[in-house]
Amino acid sequence: MRFASLGSGSNGNGLVVESGNTRVLLDCGFGLRDSEQRLGRLGVSPEQLSGILVTHEHDDHAGGVFRLAARHGIPVWLTHGTLRMVERLLNKPDKLSLNVIDSHLAFALGDLEIQPYPVPHDAREPVQYVFGDGSQRLGVLTDTGASTPHIAAMLSGCDALVLECNHDLDMLMHGPYARTLKQRVSSRLGHLDNASSADLLAGLDNSKLQHIVAAHLSAQNNTPALATQALSQALGCTQDWIAVATQLDGLDWREISAR
């Protein structure tokens, strides 16, 4: 199993996960041409995608999903709450294959087993996902304002993690955002800051961990150095072991080795 990022941040998100003959895209917050170009950079054509999964309705995650899906005939999986909130984006719903999922029930998509799980975020029915191939597991967590025991249970024991490090709390509070936006971002329904992500990571079973990726960094309220410092301290490793998915370049393929 392997994974790569099209880009990660407030201006657009997308993550490709591949196992065997199955290749899925998690979220797509980019325009149609930009999405195609970012996929091409990873050696992927849209026709090779088995499906697109959606975490929630915010434009930086769902804004490009349905144009890409309609253009290339790609089926989409999402929760009922997310579907209700993205109806404004469905110009020609008859050309889309939409699959409604339960936020607690795993489902198979080709060679991948996909386990959605609910998270606290300011959206209608947001979820994140754990991907498995029967041997390795990739856990993804972005766009949540707080951890929960269920989140920790879902991510514990994974072979790879993509973990939100949205902001440094001091930078956010002393930065240019309006007070109401600062409160939203730092709330339980907002985004994880570096320290909270590190606390979550430190409490997991990381005995199988091969890859850790800091994701969804704020351009205004964080730096890669601060994010990697926090996660490396939680793991007791060097900072260069922590990867960062950037807004512009995303992240190149990371292979999860069989053990």
Report residue 93's pLDDT band, with 50, 70 and 90 as the boundaries.
Answer: confident
Domain tally, the chain:
1
Q: How far is CA 133 from the centre of its chain?
A: 18
Specify the pLDDT at position 161.
98
Q: Per-residue pLDDT tens for 114-154? A: 999 999 999 999 999 999 999 999 999 999 999 999 999 99
Residue 259 lies in a domain: no
Residue 254 lies in a domain: no
Specify the pLDDT at position 10.
95
Report CA-CA distances (Å) from 131 to 116, 236, 248.
Answer: 9, 26, 25
Residue 257 lies in a domain: no
Residue 220 lies in a domain: yes
Residue 141 lies in a domain: yes
Strands of the sheet containing 211-215, edge to edge, are 107-109, 112-118, 127-132, 137-141, 160-164, 211-215, 243-244
Q: What is the CATH classification number for the domain harbouring 29?
A: 3.60.15.10
DSSP 8-class letter at 87: G
Residue 229 lies in a domain: yes
Domain of 47 in residue numbering reads as 2-249
Residue 255 lies in a domain: no
Q: Per-residue pLDDT tens for 27-43? A: 999 999 999 999 999 99
Give just the sign of the alpha carbon dihedral 107, 108, 109, 112: positive
Residue 161 lies in a domain: yes
Residue 251 has pLDDT above 80, yes or no: yes
The average pLDDT across 155-159 equals 98
